[in-house]
Amino acid sequence: MTTTAYDRTIPLGVHEGRAPGWWAMVWTIATEAALFAFLLFSFFYLGSQSRSAWPPSGPLALKLSLPNTIILIVSSIAYAWGERGIRAGNRARLRAGLAIAFILGLVFIIIQGIEWSNQPFGPRDGAFGSLFYTITGFHGAHVVVGLLMNLLVQIWAARGTFTRESHLAVTCAGMYWHFVDIVWLFVFASLYISPRLG
Amino acid sequence: MATIAPISTAPIERLHETWESRPGLYGVLATVDHKTIGKRYLVTAVIFLIIGGIEALIMRVQLAHADTHLLSPEAYNQLFSMHGITMMFWYASPILSGFSNYIWPLMLGSRDMAYPRVNALSYWTFLASGIFIYTALCIGQAPNDGWFGYAPVSLQPYNPGLNMDFYALGLIFLTASTTVRAINFIGTVMKMRAPGLSLNRLPIFVYGTMTASFAAIFALPALTAGCVFLYLERQFHMHFFDAAQGGSPLLWQHLFWILGHPWVYIIVLPAMGMVSEMIPTFCRRPLVGYPYVALSTIATGLIGFGVWVHHMFATGLPAVSMSFFSGASFLITIPSAIAVFAWIATMWLGKPVWKTPLLFAAGFVVLFVIGGVSGVVTAAVPFDWQVTDTYFVVAHIHYVLIGINVFPVIGAFYYWIPKMTGRMMNETLGKWNFWTMFIGFNLGFFPMHIAGLLGMPRRVYTYPASSGWGTVNLITTIGAFLFAIGVLLFVINFFVSRRKGAFAGSNPWDAGTLEWAMESPPPPYNFAVIPIVRSRLPLWEDQLGDETPGIIPAEGRSHITEGAALAEGRETFGTSPLEAEPLHVLHMPEDSLFPFLLAIAMLATAYGLVFSQWWLAILGGVGMLACLVGWLWPRHLATGERA
């Protein structure tokens, strides 16, 4: 056997191309995105068939929800800033970015709780109420999962697990966090904005 | 660095040690070997096939004569619902995943799937969700609203027991299993191929499972959303399907069939892929029209998302909507027909060797055409209105699902069991097996078309003698039992072959794909060296030479016995998605208990939710989190380079 089938050495571990774990996160996000698409499909389907006002008590207030949306977007930016830090080998910047993203995410959840208690309708008050609490509840659960991921990544970051070359967990948790934020924009546009348009 | 040493015995021993699961209980529960998981999938799914079959036979006894009262209406409702749910969700898709789990890495020239622990999780959750849904039957509160669980009968005021709570939670549970499995297949096809196994050289079976996996990822969440709504409406009195409170029963139908129709393709495309493997092997020539069959597989998966409303033609939808979905349903026959003509042409141009797997494959083609025709006619709205909710539809669904799933599956067992056990199945018994199943099936299910045209509605627990449906039903019952005897012959043949079957050797059928390259059963590490693939049929290159499909003469031939050993640890190549260029050496996970424990925690949560034992649900949730943290905790990896 003298010829070689591939005339180069193959590195151990992922240095070019995408790791299997990266793809796993991509397809997890894809199926989760489909789930939200079907939840919002249900919202628009029942809304289009509704014979009473949709929402029943008039369009939902933007006083808390709009600032809260901005908080979530800033949280995403903070995460991305931290991730860029570790890509340059800057662990302190990673930890700062993760911490800011975590705190803003937590604030979002707390404001969501206030938003829930402010609504004049409950989850059993007709289809709108049921959908509102189910969809925002689903989203809130995803935010909590994102926060738990963030917490894990923070613990690992504190232990010095991540390097400039090897920080797949940071990337994957970040993809999930950005997904949770982008999905919120769709949820917000559907539940809060769309009833104002028609 | 880039030299490839001839294989000595030393790495093989080391590979064995590295890849073999520990003996004992730990090894049983912690193994991530795709072959073990694949076999478990197959055995478990066959058990569900037998359970679902027994349920069907009990119903056929009830329906053999008019005015039979062996079963109460409620018992009959539970039986036909469990029969449908079991066959559709716990048999038809898992059995195909069993084959894919076992065969894929062998076919792809890899040592494992992309996510071995996820693979173990998908099996354990499949098993746990099956135990969960059959708990309902054991306590006499099984789902009783058909496999598609229509509202409002599924809602609490009309169905106060736990029956439909089990349905909603059981399906969500199974969906978790199916989703992670689909992600595993997609990750595997993107990353875990032998160098050179580019997209245009992938076996059609891989295309089938890959397309089904993509479809599952995007379609299953519709069912999840529907089942979450159903559970919330039943348990917490929220409103999604209740028309009086602004909901709509049709929302359930939409969500269910947005999953339901792609699901049909999820449970047939991999089976059609298996046929595309068997027919060339036994017709001694490459598949005719390979690129068209590959593309039609993908096209079927895509168009399958645009036809769900044809299940709802009788619900009073606008004519425009019905026309669109009727048109899409006609359209989907085109890719199916392309595949059928490719199989026929392969047989026509080849030299068929009529071994049992080919009998099943050919029988499948016949049944697929019949089932396809009875499907096309129901795609026409006026005809559908005539036969909807009659036995005509029952006949159609069984022609499609038994014809396109069960027949290829039994054929695939005859084809691949020699690889899995190292022993051949008995040919004579195999031919009896096929003809009993084929005759029994047609005798049982063809008359159902007639019963439907005579006006017999589906799901009636009995019928009056004056209806005149007695004779066709008696024939159907006889056929169903004959078919069941055929399945029994398969089970007998399997156990006989385990003891007395002839030894198979590595390639008993002289097939062309990679899974036949290693000894049977395969060693724990699959390949002593990672092969390099240069054509679509690496093992037929000696016979076909430069005519081998997918070969580029300048690149040379495939290397099967010489290549990188990667014996330093649990290692295999990670390759690029399109061209399968080796990019990196992946360190694969060791055995782990976390998948098993996670499935247990999920089972606890499901029981907690169905019995309203919130402490148990929360305990299960905490357990799930703990398992995930343990699972994800970073391992310390070796670094370096491999030649």
Q: What is the DSSP string of B389-401?
A: TBHHHHHHHHHHH
End of a domain among B473, B500, B527? B500
Measured between CA atoms, how close is B560 to chain A, in angstroms? 11
Q: With bands split at pLDDT 50, 70 and 90, how would you rate the model's confidence at B376?
A: confident
Q: Is B531 on the interface with A (CB under 8 A)?
A: no
Average pLDDT for B420-444: 97
In this structure, is residue A51 part of a structural domain? no
> Do B606 and B471 fall within a single domain?
no
* B182/A27 Cα distance (integer angstroms): 9
User: Which domain, by its residues, includes B397?
Assistant: 11-500
- pLDDT at residue B518 above 80? yes
> Cα–Cα–Cα angle for B447, B449, B453, nearest 5°?
115
Asked if residue B495 and residue B602 are part of one domain, the reply reads no
DSSP letter assigned to residue A11: E
Regarding whether B227 and B373 lie in a shared domain, the answer is yes
Give the CATH number of the domain where residue B433 resides. Answer: 1.20.210.10
- Number of inter-chain CB pairs under 8 A, A vs B: 176
pLDDT, tens only, B310-359:
999 999 888 888 899 999 999 999 999 999 999 999 999 999 999 999 99
Q: Please tell me the distance in Å from A77's CA to the nearest CA on chain B.
A: 25
Other CB atoms within 10 Å distance of the CB of residue B71: 18
- B183 found inside a domain: yes
Between residues A163 and B94, which one has the greater pLDDT? B94
Hey, are the CB atoms on A35 and B225 less than 8 Å from each other?
yes
CATH number at residue A78: 1.20.120.80
Is the CB of B586 less than 8 angstroms away from the CB of A14? yes
Domain count, chain B: 2
Question: For residue B5, is pLDDT > 70?
Answer: no
The answer to the question of residue B425 being in a domain is yes
- CA B269 – CA B263 distance, rounded (Å): 10
Q: Is the pLDDT of residue B130 over 90?
A: yes
pLDDT band at A165 (very low <50, low <70, confident <90, very high): confident
In a domain, A11, yes or no: no
Q: Residue B6 pLDDT more than 60?
A: no
Q: Are residues B609 and B469 in the same domain?
A: no
Instruction: Please give the pLDDT value at position B637.
Output: 53
Contact B6 A1 (CB under 8 A): yes
SS (HEC) of B558-586: CEEEEEECCCCCCEEEEECCCCCCEEEEE
Considering CB atoms only, which of A12, A50, A129 is closest to B642? A12
Instruction: With respect to residue B234, please indicate whether it lies within any of the assigned structural domains.
Output: yes
Structural domain contains residue A3: no
To the nearest whole angstrom, how far is the Cα of B241 from the nearest Cα of chain A? Answer: 8
* Contact residues, chain A, for B632 at CB < 8 Å: 152, 169
Q: Domain of A134? A: 64-197
Residue ending a domain, choose from B469, B500, B531: B500
Q: Is residue A157 part of a domain?
A: yes
Q: Residues of B with CB below 8 A from A23's CB?
A: 114, 186-187, 190-191
- Looking at the structure, tell me whether residues B338 and B191 fall in a common domain: yes
Position B170 in a domain: yes
Q: Which of residues 176-205 of B touch A (CB under 8 A)?
A: 179, 182-183, 186-187, 190-192, 195-196
Asked whether the beta carbons of residue A10 and residue B4 sit closer than 8 angstroms, the reply is: no
* Residue B377: pLDDT over 90: no
Mean pLDDT of the B558-575 span: 88
Split into its structural domains, chain A has a count of 1
Whether residue B6 lies inside any domain: the answer is: no
Q: Give domain status of residue A37, yes or no.
A: no
CA angle B85, B90, B94 (to 5 degrees): 145
What are the C-alpha distances in Å from B625 to residues A103, A178, B117, B598, B621?
21, 21, 16, 9, 6
Nearest-by-CA chain B residue for A131: B240
pLDDT of residue A51: 86
Task: Classify residue B518: in a domain, yes or no.
Answer: no
**Cβ contact, residue pair B217, A27, below 8 Å:** yes
Whether B613 and B467 map to the same domain: the answer is no
Same domain, B627 and B485: no
Report yes or no on A80 lying in a domain: yes
Residue B7: its pLDDT value, please?
Answer: 54
Question: Which residues in chain B are closer than 8 Å to A20, comparing Cβ atoms?
Answer: 114-115, 187, 190-192, 574, 586
Which among B443, B466, B500 is the end of a domain?
A: B500
Whole-Å CA distances, B456 to B62, B63, B74, B168, B565 = 15, 12, 19, 29, 63
Radius of gyration of chain A (CA): 21
H or E segment to which residue A10 belongs = strand A10-11
pLDDT at B201 over 90: yes
Interface of B with A in 87-126 (CB under 8 A): 114-115, 118
Q: Which two tokens stand for residue B303?
A: 């168009």
Given the cut 0.85, state whether the ipTM is greater than it: yes
